[in-house]
């Protein structure tokens, strides 16, 4: 007789129970896609949202919706308090010195563009150098190219090796007194490489360069401490860290923000406006022209609360365990090659599989209920480096499980059957 209670494997572990509870906080995960349980492995593109984030925005509209910093009436005061409380949560989340260093923007892309337009046009001129890397997302490449076109500055690159790691000797060679700014990603969205940003920042500062760190892929997965890093700018997107879309932050050291001219003009960012000219508000408001994304900021604040409560160190070790399991499982699939094998890696599994086009792989996986991203991942120079048009990318979040990886592998076996 098969009596289940004599088999310990039928009893869930502490970790399995905790994961189930976490998954229950994400209503969207509890659904079937094409008749199969949804397996969501496209977290680097955008993460799913926990109940607390969704509820915080619903409550904002149900209870306190009003414009911020403008009214003396009750609702406006409440909305302003909630909006500024969210700024405080972000400040503490990344250990910034002051809320004045936190600018709410649409996301990482807008934040890099702000720095390029405002800091860049004032402080980076003809012949100056901007040092970026071959593994950057387009949003940390194109703004610098546009700036260089406008100012005569030169964009230089640090290349990556076959494992997808920055060639640090090259970085040191290319850092000179001409370098005015280094822009580097904390974690590569296409390869998963975790860059030694603290060392890079130290080296850049020795030649007097400022450093912008693109934290879009880091903030959901590890504790960020901008004071410990000593970065000058840090950008992140809320939607990748369990918050809503359309909101993110630029962190910048206060003295830098004080010196930076406005990026956009409009309401809120001014001190006085006369027909003959205007003066501008202090940071961060100088950079928040117009009515901001109030519900987005509140939702992002709730996402920070959620991450604090779960504990990013726990998240990080869970995802690291999954990454190891995923790496091992994928390498057992014959004909599969991982792209991005850095010794320091986060939960991103980018791969090619025989000579099957990633879009076909993605489509067949989708038929099995498995969501991955396929394409160049807005990192075309990375694809060029590995001489590939595209990869398939599975990216992990705190609610993923070993079973999700097993489903991915089972889906890949199906892909092979279809193409046999």
**Cβ neighbours for 404, distance < 8 A, ≥ 6 positions apart:** 39, 40, 41
Minimum gap (Å) between residue 107 Cβ and ligand C6P: 3
Q: Give CA–CA dist 281/57, Å, rounded.
A: 28
3-state secondary structure of 366: helix
Q: Using an 8 Å Cβ cutoff, are 145 and 155 in contact?
A: yes
Nearer to ligand C6P, 41 or 79 (CB): 41
Q: Give CA–CA dist 397/40, Å, rounded.
A: 9
Nearer to ligand C6P, 186 or 253 (CB): 186
Q: Give CA–CA dist 77/85, Å, rounded.
A: 12
Phi-psi region of 48 (alpha: psi -120 to 50; beta: other; left: phi over 0): beta
Nearer to ligand C6P, 217 or 391 (CB): 217
Nearer to ligand C6P, 109 or 341 (CB): 109
Nearer to ligand C6P, 168 or 378 (CB): 378
Minimum gap (Å) between residue 42 Cβ and ligand C6P: 7
| Cβ atoms < 10 Å from Cβ of 406 | 14
Nearer to ligand C6P, 137 or 156 (CB): 137
Minimum gap (Å) between residue 135 Cβ and ligand C6P: 9
Minimum gap (Å) between residue 418 Cβ and ligand C6P: 25
List of residues contacting ligand C6P (CB under 6 A): 44-45, 107-109, 137, 139-140, 185, 189, 214, 216-217, 237, 373, 377-378
Report DSSP state, residue 235: E
- Nearest Cα to Cα of residue 166 among 143, 139, 199, 144: 199
Q: Give CA–CA dist 220/82, Å, rounded.
A: 22
The owner of tokens 């822009």 is: 183
| Token code pair at residue 16 | 């399995």
Minimum gap (Å) between residue 33 Cβ and ligand C6P: 19
Q: Give CA–CA dist 36/414, Å, rounded.
A: 14
Beta bridge partners of 351: 338, 392
- C-alpha distances (whole Å) from 384 to each of 34, 135, 354 are 34, 10, 18
Q: Pick the catalytic residue from 333, 371, 378, 383.
A: 378
Q: Give CA–CA dist 396/44, Å, rounded.
A: 7
Minimum gap (Å) between residue 22 Cβ and ligand C6P: 22
| Cβ atoms < 10 Å from Cβ of 40 | 24
| Residue 231 annotated to the active site | no
Minimum gap (Å) between residue 75 Cβ and ligand C6P: 30
Beta bridge partners of 194: 187
Q: Give CA–CA dist 40/218, Å, rounded.
A: 19
Q: Give CA–CA dist 224/94, Å, rounded.
A: 5
Q: Phi and psi for 14 in degrees, rounded to 5?
A: -55, -45
Nearer to ligand C6P, 19 or 340 (CB): 340
SS (H, E, C) 386-401: CCCCCEEEEECCCCCC
DSSP conformation letters of 48-63: ---HHHHHHHHHIIII
Q: Give CA–CA dist 397/197, Å, rounded.
A: 22
Minimum gap (Å) between residue 237 Cβ and ligand C6P: 3
Nearer to ligand C6P, 118 or 237 (CB): 237
Q: Would you name the residues annotated as active-site residues?
A: 378
């Amino acid at each position: 007789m098969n009596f289940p209670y004599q088999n310990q494997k039928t009893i869930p572990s502490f970790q399995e129970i905790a994961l189930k509870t976490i998954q229950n906080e994400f209503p969207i995960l509890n659904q079937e896609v094409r008749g199969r349980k949804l397996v969501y492995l496209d977290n680097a593109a955008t993460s799913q949202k926990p109940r607390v984030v969704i509820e915080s925005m619903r409550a904002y509209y149900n209870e306190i919706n009003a414009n911020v910093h403008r009214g003396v009436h009750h609702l406006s005061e409440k909305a302003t308090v909630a909006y500024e409380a969210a700024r405080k949560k972000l400040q503490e989340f990344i250990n910034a010195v002051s809320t004045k260093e936190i600018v709410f923007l649409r996301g990482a892309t807008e934040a890099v563009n702000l720095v390029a337009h405002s800091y860049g046009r004032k402080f980076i001129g003809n012949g100056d150098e901007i040092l970026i890397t071959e593994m950057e997302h387009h949003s940390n490449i194109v703004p610098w190219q546009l700036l260089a076109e406008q100012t005569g500055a030169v964009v230089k690159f640090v290349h990556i090796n076959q494992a997808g790691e920055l060639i640090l000797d090259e970085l040191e060679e290319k850092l000179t007194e001409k370098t005015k700014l280094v822009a580097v990603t904390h974690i590569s969205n296409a390869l998963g490489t975790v860059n030694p940003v603290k060392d890079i920042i130290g080296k850049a500062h020795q030649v007097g360069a400022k450093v912008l760190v693109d934290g879009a892929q880091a903030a959901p997965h590890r504790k960020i401490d901008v004071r410990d890093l000593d970065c000058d700018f840090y950008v992140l997107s809320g939607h990748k860290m369990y918050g809503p879309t359309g909101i993110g932050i630029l962190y910048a050291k206060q003295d830098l923000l004080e010196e930076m001219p406005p990026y956009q003009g409009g309401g809120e960012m001014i001190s006085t406006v006369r027909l003959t000219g205007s003066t501008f508000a202090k940071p961060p408001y100088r950079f928040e022209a117009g009515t901001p994304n109030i519900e987005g900021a509140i939702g992002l604040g709730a996402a920070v609360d959620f991450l604090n409560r779960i504990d990013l160190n726990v998240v990080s070790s869970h995802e690291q365990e999954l990454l190891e399991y995923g790496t091992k499982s994928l390498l057992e699939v014959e004909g599969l090659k991982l792209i991005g094998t850095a010794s320091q890696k986060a939960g991103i599994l980018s791969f090619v599989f025989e000579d099957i086009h990633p879009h076909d792989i993605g489509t067949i996986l989708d038929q099995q209920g498995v969501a991955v991203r396929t394409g160049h991942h807005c990192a075309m120079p990375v694809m060029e480096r590995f001489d590939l048009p595209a990869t398939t990318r599975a990216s992990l979040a705190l609610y993923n499980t070993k079973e999700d990886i097993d489903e991915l592998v089972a889906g890949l076996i199906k892909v092979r059957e279809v193409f046999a």
